[in-house]
Amino acid sequence: YGLLTDIVPLPDAVKRRTAQAYFGLAQGGSFRAPRLTVDAKNQAALLDRIGLAPQKFVALMPGAEFGPAKRWPSESYAGLAREFMGKGLKVALFGSKNDRDV
């Protein structure tokens, strides 16, 4: 996947926001977007295992591995989930044990 396996030095720019720094890594490079394919049998098995019907749903992943300061409040996730559910979509939350309070 390029960025995960090759060292790409950051430009000697004055401190920038994280998103700008990540964007700068890709400038000047020619990277192919990764492609993930999952066959229908494995898709069905996963949906069955996590209890989701084979229909459209929205996945929310509230994790913030850099600490709670970078995390949306629980109420914001709940509000966003209600918005999606109001449009007829199912909502699935994914995360680790560190995200349970969210």
Residue 26: inside a domain: yes
pLDDT digits (tens, 9 = 90+) for 48-101: 888 877 778 899 988 766 666 777 888 998 999 999 999 999 898 888 887 777
- The residue whose two tokens read 């709940």 is 78
Residue 89: inside a domain: yes
Number of domains in the chain: 1
Residue 13: inside a domain: no
- Count other C-beta atoms under 10 Å from residue 102's C-beta: 19
Where residue 80 sits, what CATH number does that domain have? 3.40.50.2000
Those residues whose C-beta lies under 8 Å from the C-beta of residue 95, and which sit 6 or more positions away, are: 61, 62, 63, 102
Residue 4: inside a domain: no
Residue 91 has phi, psi (to 5 degrees) of -125, 130
Flag whether the pTM goes above 0.85: no
Provide the token pair at 62. Answer: 């509230």
Residue 3: inside a domain: no
Residue 10: inside a domain: no
Average pLDDT over residues 5-27: 68
| Residues 50, 57: Cα–Cα separation, whole Å | 13
Structural domain that includes position 31: 18-99
